[in-house]
Amino acid sequence: MRKVLLGIFILCSFVFLSFKEGAENDKVGFGSRKLKEMARQLPLYEMPSCDTIVEVSEIIKDKALVFVYHDKQIVHIGVSMFSRETKEIIGRDICNFLERYFLELLLLDSEANVNRKLKEDHVTLLLNGKRYGEGQFHSIGDVLQSMSMPVSFSLSHQGQYAETVWSSAGRLLQMRFPLYRELIVGMDKKESDEGVYNLLKVAEFDSVPYTEEKISRECLEFKADKVYVRHGEAFIIKTLTSDRYYVEENGNFHLIFQPQYPEYSMNNLFLSYQNGVGKTLKITHRQYGHFTPDFSIPLNNFLACFKDDFIVVCHTGYNKQNELETIVVFSHKVLNYIHLLRVHIDAKQLFTDHPVLKADFYSNIPQHYINSLLK
């Protein structure tokens, strides 16, 4: 009888602790379903409530797990491998991916499952030239634990792939992985679209300072009728560029925003903050699953959301309704995806005091989709 009661007590205690753990985790917000699932697999009584590192010896010994919060949500969990300063230099997305991905591998329960995941994600993992599962390379945890300071690290880009190399204590760990948004960011398109939408909704209240850029004649090429062009980058098709158009007045050059040059004026709006003040975008955000919320945001606030991580190119012409129409592409500097904005307005309305430009916004789409979207 005592054994039965003891068994019931142990069972009840286990159920209570499991329930408690689940309840505590449910109180914590997560930036993605992937992070939430990873958190459920961690042997922690409760999630940290702020940015921190925690030693979890059941997962990996002599190393810590890092937890990062933003807006009251956990937005990153991984094996702590980089300092904040290093992430700023190398790139936060890539560093967070590497930390998270190694934790994902550590959470798998067999060598076969690790190999299956590496194959599915098109990731190659080598130790001293041997693939995972070959030679002496059968434990990712052991390899990570053996990496002690000093550790040499390098990152290189090879087209649509990147390769990282860690060198420590006579061991060379190499990882080659594709630069797919879903893999690196750890979110599906629905989650990424929601993230962009939330970013833009907050950004509409920000202050966006700007200064007029002074330009010299040597940077410009004469086009026609006092108009000069400063050539920029082209993207996929030759008509999508970051070319800016200037006019000469009294020996000085100014970005064009004048009724006599409507196409140049419209094009310049998306490549500089200079003439964007007082202009509003009324956007239909075409998200995953045919979800299409509408919202308005000051033009410069919209552009500022993508200034650090994206290259901006555009093209302006007239659509079938004889309106000015600009295609704006925001191409991520590292990952192979774009955001695309299709904006239109009557040419006369553009030069009123507070014009509203209507736009369709397509976020987080593969680069090769651009040809079909531009038809």
- My answer on whether omega of the bond before 209 falls inside 30° of 0, hence cis, is no
Put the strands of the sheet holding 221-224 in their side by side order: 221-224, 227-230, 244-249, 252-255
pLDDT at 374: 61
CA separation (Å) from 95 to 17, 101, 333? 34, 10, 15
The pLDDT value given to residue 261: 95
pLDDT digit string (tens) for 281-322? 999 999 999 999 999 999 999 999 999 899 999 999 999 999
Cβ pair 297, 204 in contact under 8 A: yes
Task: Supply the DSSP string of 142-205, one letter for each residue.
Answer: HHHHH--SS-EEEEEEETTEEEEEEEETTEEEEEEEE--HHHHH---HHHHHHHHHHHHHHHTT
Cα separation, 241 vs 233, in Å, equals: 5
Q: What is the pLDDT of residue 26?
A: 56
**Helix and strand totals (H; E) in the chain:** 12, 21
Q: Give the model's pLDDT for residue 375.
A: 60
What's the confidence (pLDDT) of residue 372? 65
Residue 161: per-residue pLDDT: 95
Per-residue confidence (pLDDT) for residue 373, from 0 to 100: 58
For residue 360, the SS3 value is: strand
Under-70 pLDDT residues of the chain: 1-26, 371-375
